[in-house]
Structure 1
Amino acid sequence: MKKIFSYYLKPYYLRMTIGFLIKFTGTLMDLFLPWTLAYMIDTVIPANQRPEIFLWGFFMIFCSILAVVFSVAANRMASRVASSATRTIRGDLFEKVSRLSNTQIDRFTRPSLISRLTSDTYNVHQMLGRVQRLGVRAPILLIGGITMTMALDPVLACILLAVLPLLTIVVVVVSRKTIPMFSVLQDRVDRFVRLIREDIAGIRVIKALSKESYEQERFDRANREVVDWERKATVTTSITNPVMNVLLNLGLVAVILAGAYRVNQGTSEVGKILAFMTYFTIILNALMSISRLFIMISKAAASASRIVKVLDADQELVFQEMEAEEESAWETETGTEKKAGTGEENGAVHVEFDHVSFSYNKVENNLEDISFRLKRGETLGIIGATGAGKTTIVNLLMRFYDADQGAVRIDGRDVRTMGLHELRTRFGTVFQNDTIFEDTIMENINMGRELSEEAVMEAVLYGRASEFVEEKGGISAQLDIKGANLSGGQKQRILIARALAAKPDILILDDSSSALDYKTDAELRKELREHFAETTCVIIAQRISSIMNSDHIMVLEDGQMIGYGTHQELMETCEIYREIGKSQMGI
């Protein structure tokens, strides 16, 4: 919470100060009204001074108008500050989330990050607005009301002051209990969001397997957890209002009885008693507002803590300076590559894994001692069972994760010594279950890279998507969310066109041809050979036909490389690869 006020609200301190002054002035106008009424009843009316009655009446109207105008103006300023600050918080949070390492995203979980970007920022927004509106008005009404009652009748004011410590204890005790409850509640909401996200994404599978009842039970359990914790938090906070009402009403009864006695004794006046009751109501409303404010601050404190945890998360994928010897060797190597006419640029290592090991949970290795080298323009095919570590190699190559041991190099340079933008702009990538956005074909391929229509059309051609793109009306045709109006093969061809559009240095195709027919798959590989001869390719596939013509083929099993070579070499030396070939192609 401290960071929210000290950093994100700092640019608005002047505007908030002006708003506080306006709100302060308007609140004072409200406090003058009961005092004016008491003066008129006790002094002006008994003197039968009609001009003075009208004068004080107009004064009350003037105070009322000022109170309304100033309150509206201050509330508008408060809303603008809250909206602007929340927009900045949400923007910084989104930027931070987009730069988190995959390890951090796994740790926070995606549903939790979505919740922090939505419901948590909403709670902070509500709190910032309420603090500026009620945080000024309610304390002024409370303190001003007590001050006015002390001025009107100190004896009756002492009855009121005797109640205030009890009210304070109630607010403090309830607030201490509710803050942890709201933190747990947000965690339960995260789980609930994750379940909903999974069920909606997999709704077709659920229906196909007739698992609606099972998922309904899971939903009911998660929903019940959220409701139970929300009920606990709400019931705890709801204690505040009735207890405060009882205490204040008891105090008010005591004031009326004592006031009646004092009027009867001639030590007080009717107007003062009426004003005192009005101030008592003002104080009651102020305390109720403060209690509601504490409840909202409790919610916002839990949300702000979750937001700040993300904002303050360390940058795990840090840029590492190259050592002097490594930098000298890299400069020598890249200088050699650029010498015209030497013919050496095709002989230099482009992509290298040097004894790389990696574990997601840091307990058991998902990859172990992986080493290979690719020259520029060569193709590596990777095949293996599900969970063998195929996609993990891509994750390390693009530095979504850092290797635990060994080094990943591009052009002889460790990827950890490259800026993330510099590194990733080298790649064209099609991931498993990649995303089609609800936009035109043009924008789904362009992806904000400012590519020309000619470049996009060329990519569509190379991705073997021209035929169906023309049928749909060209690259300006609109696609549904997740490509719902495309077949599986059409989606993959759009994704491949996206990867090829910027003519990448390194092309990653992670099981990107699984929905393509054999003819289209063969045509795609032909396009890659003819038009992307200088592009180094890494192709992850489940079928041998997609990789059998690769320069190198890696066979993975349980994170270990059990075979490496050409198709012919592996058919002779790798039993698992030979079994896959026999089962798929009968060879």
Structure 2
Amino acid sequence: MIELLRRFGGKFRRYMVIGPACKLIEVIFDLLTPLVIAQMIDKGIGAHDVSAVVHYGILLAAMAVIGISFTLVCQKMAALTSQGMGTDIRGALYEHINKLSYAELDRFGTPSLITRITNDVNQVQLAVALGVRMLIRWPFLAVGSMIAALAIDLKLGMIFLICTPAIGLVFWFVMARCIPYYKQLQAKLDRIALICREGLSGARVVRAFVREGHERERFAQAADDQARVAIAVGKLSSILNPVTFLVMNLGVCAILWVGGIQVNVGELTQGQVMAFVNYMTQTLTSIVYVANLVVVFTKASASASRINEVLNCVPSITDEGNQPVALLEPSAMGNAVPVPALSLSHASFSFGAGAANAVNDVTLELPLGKTLGIIGGTGSGKSTLVSLIPRLYDAGVGSVSVMGSDVRAWPLDQLRHVVATVPQRASLVSGTIRSNLTWRDESATDEELWAALDIAQASEFVHNKPQGLDAPVEAGGKNFSGGQRQRLTI
């Protein structure tokens, strides 16, 4: 959590100072309120002086208005900080995820990355908002109330010294057992997200094979696993409030008992006893809220570690320091020695350390203008081999060269512009046919787009669309058939 604050909290530093400062002023008024009430009781009600009651009542009202004003400022600072940081963290996560290679994406998994960029960031946002609003309020109110109470009467203050450690012991007992569960909860959410994504994206396959019941069982099992952990945490957390309020109420009873005796002998006034009760209530209530804050911060800490795990992941494929590769036009080559368009030299690749090679010791050379077809059974590594050419993966052993230059020496933007790739699974994004076709070249003219459609044998069904190139494309191209998606992808 501290790492995220250092990385993203700099531009919100003034908000994180102004907010707690305003909250501190509100707390000071809260600490003064019991003393004003004590004076109202002793000098107003006790002395049957209506003017004193009115005077102190106006003072309380003024303090309340000022306190609320500062609270509103603090609320705004908290909103600006939490929402601003959340937006920046999401932006940084999304940008960094798009820099990761296929190897890192495979390691994290898409469902887990989605959970981290949504749920985990929400947990951090909540913690930041409560940190600005409440982190200084409740600890300061608890300590200030205790000091003020001890200043009124040291004998009654001993009740504080008994009640406070008792609540602290309960708090430690619960938190020590809750913290491990919070990390489990996030992992269970990842599992639910994975099953949801598989079930929804593969809905047609699920229905074609009549596996709806099986998918419901999978989801129910994952949801039940998450619910069991959440219930276990809930049971432990539910101990906090009843026990702390029991201790608090017993402490109030003890104060009234001992304070009543002292009032009878003239050592304390009724107003002082009421002030002491208020301070006792404020102190123990503050401890309860501090406990709740720790719960929130514990969840946020688990989420922050998952966010940092992604942000600190160094992409295994980078082009830092690579200079653009000079490419000669065919007409300018003249009598120069022809450079192969593609060559692999003893290239091997495996998915993870210790795994069998998916591509094993491949050596080939493809001259300019020639065509190469690679055939093989399912799982023989054809797609993986092709993925080495635009550096979607890096060969673990050997080398891959395009136009005579090792792919590791190319700037990624240039390499992936030179190497045209059609993925095995056709993928379209929401927008229009035009917006999908211009991914490779944003300046492409309509004539160029229609020419590409003709080559891909897709122009006929695009012509049949009333809006032509501006026909809408739904997310994933769901409003097109599988073959149409493939041809548009080509």
CA distance in 1, matches of 2:210, 2:241: 48
Which residue in 1 is equivalent to 2:418? 426
Distance 1:53 1:320 in 2: 75
1:385 lines up with 2:385 in the alignment: no
Q: Does 1:119 align with 2:119?
A: yes
Aligned-residue offset at 1:279: 2.2
Q: Deviations over 1:332-364 (max 9, x none)?
A: xx68x5696553479321211111111113321
**Structure 2 counterpart SS, 1:384:** coil
Counterpart CA distance in 1 for 2:335 and 2:97 is: 42
Distance change >3 Å, CA 404–CA 262, structure 1 → 2: same
Whether the 8 Å contact between 1:320 and 1:416 is mirrored in structure 2 is: no
Q: 2:342 aligns with which of 337, 348, 351?
A: 351
Q: What is the identity, as a one-letter code, of the residue corresponding to 1:467? A: E
- C-alpha root-mean-square deviation of aligned residues, in Å? 2.2
Q: What pairs with 1:99-248 in structure 2 (closer than 5 Å)?
A: 99-248=99-248
1:436 corresponding residue in structure 2: 428
Deviation of residue 235 (structure 1)?
1.7
Q: Could you tell me how far 1:43 is from its partner in structure 2?
A: 2.5
Matching residue within 462, 483, 489 for 1:489:
483
Bigger RCO (CA 8 Å, 6+ sep): 2
The residue type paired with residue 353 of structure 1 is L
Amino acid at match of 1:239: I
Give, in angstroms, the shift of residue 190 of structure 1. 0.9
Instruction: Quote the Cα distance in structure 2 between the aligned partners of 1:294 and 1:349.
Output: 63
Measured in 2, the distance between the counterparts of 1:132 and 1:123 equals 14
Partners of 1:405 and 1:196 lie apart in 2 by: 37
Does residue 412 of the first structure (1) align with residue 412 of the second (2)?
A: no
Match of 1:477 in 2: 471
SS at match of 1:316: coil
- Residue 453 of structure 1, CA deviation: 4.2
Whether the aligned pair in 2 keeps the contact of 1:319 and 1:419 (CA below 8 Å) is yes
Query: Is the 2:389–2:419 Cα contact (8 Å) retained in structure 1?
Result: no
> Is residue 468 of structure 1 aligned with residue 461 of structure 2?
yes
Structure 2 counterpart of 1:348, one-letter code: V
Q: Is the Cα–Cα contact under 8 Å of residues 142 and 282 in structure 1 kept in the other structure?
A: yes
Residues 378 and 213 of structure 1, relative CA distance in 2, 3 Å threshold? same
Aligned to 2:66: 66
User: Of residues 351, 362, 367 in structure 2, which corresponds to 1:360?
Assistant: 351
Which one is further off, 117-126 or 40-49?
A: 40-49
The verdict on how the C-alpha distance between 1:247 and 1:298 changes in structure 2, with shifts beyond 3 A counting, is: same
- Percent of paired sites with the same residue: 32
Shift in CA distance, 346/190, structure 1 to aligned 2, threshold 3 Å: farther
Of 362, 365, 370, which residue of structure 2 is paired with 1:370? 362
Q: Secondary structure at the residue paired with 1:366?
A: strand
Aligned in 2, Cα 1:46/1:215: closer, same or farther, shift over 3 Å?
closer
**Is residue 366–residue 372 contact of structure 2 (8 Å, CA) maintained in 1?**
yes
Asked if 2 retains the 8 angstrom alpha-carbon contact of 1:170 and 1:240, the reply is: yes
Contact 1:320 1:417 in 2 (8 A): no
Partner secondary structure for residue 349 of structure 1: coil
Q: Which runs of 5+ in 2 are unaligned?
A: none
Task: Report the CA distance between 1:121 and its aligned residue.
Answer: 0.6
Change over 3 Å in CA distance of 1:351–1:269 after alignment to 2: same
Task: Confirm whether residue 295 of structure 1 aligns to residue 288 of structure 2.
Answer: no
Q: By how many angstroms is 1:45 displaced?
A: 4.4
- After superposition, give the CA deviation of every residue in 1:269-295 in whole Å (9 maximum; x if it has no partner): 111122222222222321221111111
- Letter of the 1:466 counterpart: S
Q: Which amino acid aligns with 1:264?
A: N
User: Separation in 1 of the partners of 2:330 and 2:444?
Assistant: 32
Retained in 1: the 8 A contact 2:43–2:49?
no
Deviation at 1:318, TM superposition (A): 3.7
1:64 is aligned with what amino acid?
A
| 1:346 and 1:376 in contact (8 A); partners too | no
* Partners of 1:356 and 1:407 within 8 A in 2: yes
Larger radius of gyration: 1
Counterpart AA for 2:470: S
Instruction: State the 1:423 CA deviation.
Output: 2.0
In structure 1, the residue corresponding to 2:469 is in which secondary structure? coil
State yes or no: 1:402 paired with 2:417. Answer: no
Quickly say closer, same or farther: Cα 1:489–1:315, change in 2 above 3 A.
Answer: closer
Once residues 357 and 337 of structure 2 are traced to their aligned partners in structure 1, the CA distance between those partners, rounded to angstroms, is 34
Offset, 1:409: 0.8
CA contact (8 A) 2:417 2:440 kept: no
Q: Following TM superposition, by how much is the alpha carbon of 1:35 offset from its aligned partner in structure 2, in angstroms?
A: 1.1
Aligned residue identity for 2:150: M
Q: State TM-score, norm by structure 1.
A: 0.79
- 2:77 corresponds to 1:85: no
Kindly state the Cα deviation for residue 258 of structure 1 after the two structures are TM-superposed: 0.9
Going from structure 1 to structure 2, the CA distance change for 1:91 and 1:468 (only over 3 Å counts) comes to: same
Contact 1:175 1:298 in 2 (8 A): no
Q: Which letter maps to 2:381?
A: G
- Equivalent position SS for 2:106: helix
> What SS does the aligned partner of 1:406 have?
strand
5+ residue gaps, structure 1, are 497-587
Structure 1: distance between partners of 2:242 and 2:122: 28
Question: Match for 1:481: what amino acid?
Answer: A
* CA deviation string 1:31-77 (max 9, x = no partner): 22221010121134445555544332221111000111111110111
Say whether the 8 Å CA contact 2:43–2:52 is kept in structure 1. Answer: no
Note the alpha carbon deviations across 1:285-322, whole angstroms, 9 max, x for none. 21221111111111111111111111111231144778
Partner of residue 314, structure 1: 314
Answer with 141-150 or 189-198: which moved more.
141-150
User: Per the alignment, in what secondary structure is the counterpart of residue 147 of structure 2?
Assistant: helix
Deviations 1:403-462 (A, max 9, x none): 111100112211112232232222332212222222111112223853344243443333
Q: Distance in 2 between matches of 1:177 and 1:456?
A: 62
Where does residue 3 of structure 2 map in the other structure?
Answer: 3
Mapped to 2, the partners of 1:448 and 1:270 lie a distance apart of 81
Higher deviation after alignment, 29-38 or 169-178: 169-178
CA distance in 2, matches of 1:449, 1:127: 43
1:391 shift after superposition: 0.4
Q: CA separation in 2, counterparts of 1:339 and 1:115?
A: 49
TM-score, with structure 2 as normaliser:
0.93
Give the residue type in structure 2 aligned to 1:56: Y
Determine the C-alpha separation between the residues in 1 that align with 2:125 and 2:443. Answer: 38
Contact 1:350 1:411 in 2 (8 A): yes
